[in-house]
Amino acid sequence: MASHISHLKDRIGRRDYTVGIIGLGYVGLPAVLRFWEVGFRVLGFDIDPHKVKRLNAGESYIRHLPSDRIASLSHSGRFEATGDFARLGEADALLVCVPTPLTRHRNPDLQYVIQTADAIARTLRPGQLICLESTTYPGTTEELLLPRFEAKGLTVGEDFFLVFSPEREDPGNARFGLAVIPKVLGGVSDACGELGEALYATIVSRVIRVASPKVAEMTKLLENIYRAINIALVNELKMLSDRMGINIWEAIDAAATKPFGFQPFYPGPGLGGHCIPIDPFYLTWKAREYGMTTHFIELAGEINHAMPAWVVGKVIEALNTRGTSLNGAKVLVLGVAYKPDIDDQRESPALEILTLLRQQGAHVNYADPHVPRCYGHRHYPDLDLTALPLTAETIQAQNAVILVTNHAAFDLELIRRHAPLIVDTRNAFKGIPPDKVVKA
């Protein structure tokens, strides 16, 4: 066994090793680039033929990953994208980077993980390393993946190797890219962990080995639950402060001057992104198996989920004080990406705000320099809008504008000069008199 592991580690060290990455989105594509950069041959798998075609043509479909990097990748001879999952057996390691969304009832939707595991099982061969990176509840790796692979008659830790190593991708974060973020990893056995660590140590600054996949799965959930609960806290305090006539952003900034015991979190229009609005509910669901209710998670979800409706309520209130009804009003939403300076709209609170405004009879449009078209969303299939140019004429034509995502490209002074009413969910227009700007 030791000699088998040593042989595989030696191949990793010599880069005589093919890495397959399943799911070429915001997590998988950066991983493709990083493994390719350090000298591996990389196979990318995706069910979307448009992604496959664009990558093989050297084109990027993710804004913060420039096309020149993708072009270098595709022209190197060490990368190929494919939709042919019969080729999974060609890879020595397979990283599973597929979505793990929620159902409408906030239960885990693991269909993509299960379908991928079944596809891997069909081609599984001795020596392969399988790494699940998709965020999920503790137990997924050993309860859903391991039995499917062992059914092939192979022994984990001897014939094949299985680990969980959660993605920690932060799209658009130039300071913390994949190479410098420590990688948490839990193997089903010591041999699994050893081989997984050898592979990931080639692309990251530090690998943190934990006792099991369950510990690694819980680690990822803990990171995101921590943020979700603290954001819910400041969102609740924002609503209370609004009633009390207190500027919550000023209070947070003042509290942040304390050099210990306080970390600032800031309120907003709701949670967005691929992790924080979703991942906590994976643990909530699993906790029921153990007879527990995760009260903090449930309450935080309730508060954060209510934020888009609260923002729309502030719009209604602000228009009413100016003698205008939301029904029939022209409203421009500024920013539909879930955070500044990227094109990622997954779970963006702007989608819910746009939908609620429409339901109240508003004539809704949006402006976003990174998202030319807003359509095709899982829970908002009826949304199909094209971005308006952010000009003085566009702004003046509105009854209200709502700043949802504070992109650096937005000309705040242009907006301030020409908007009749600004509803600010990000404190971007601080210091502007309340007759012009309403905090939300």
Residue 70: count of CB within 10 angstroms of its CB: 23
Contact assessment for residue 333 and residue 365, using Cβ atoms and an 8 Å cutoff: yes
Q: Which residue has the tokens 């799911």?
A: 23
Say how many Å lie between the first and final Cα of the chain, rounded: 61
Q: Is 376 left (phi over 0), alpha (psi -120 to 50) or beta?
A: left
Greatest extent of the chain over all pairs of C-alpha atoms, in Å? 79
List 45's β-bridge partners, or say none. 22, 82
Our answer to whether residue 275 is catalytic in this structure is yes
Helix (H) or strand (E) holding 287: helix 280-288
List 163's β-bridge partners, or say none. 131, 187
SS3 assignment, position 303: helix
How distant is the alpha carbon of residue 212 from its chain centre? 24
Set 97, 192, 275, 374: catalytic member: 275
C-alpha torsion angle, residues 70, 73, 79, 80 (rounded to 10): 30
d(CA 145, CA 217): 14
Q: Beta 183-187 vs 93-96: how paired, if at all? A: unpaired
C-alpha torsion angle, residues 221, 99, 173, 178 (rounded to 10): 80
d(CA 391, CA 377): 27
Contact assessment for residue 218 and residue 224, using Cβ atoms and an 8 Å cutoff: no
Contact assessment for residue 154 and residue 9, using Cβ atoms and an 8 Å cutoff: no
Q: Which residue has the tokens 């879930």?
A: 338
d(CA 16, CA 25): 26
Kindly give, in sequence order, each residue whose CB lies less than 8 Å from that of residue 40, ignoring residues fewer than 6 positions away: 15, 17, 18, 19, 78, 202
Residue 177: count of CB within 10 angstroms of its CB: 15
SS3 assignment, position 184: strand
**Which residues belong to the active site?**
275
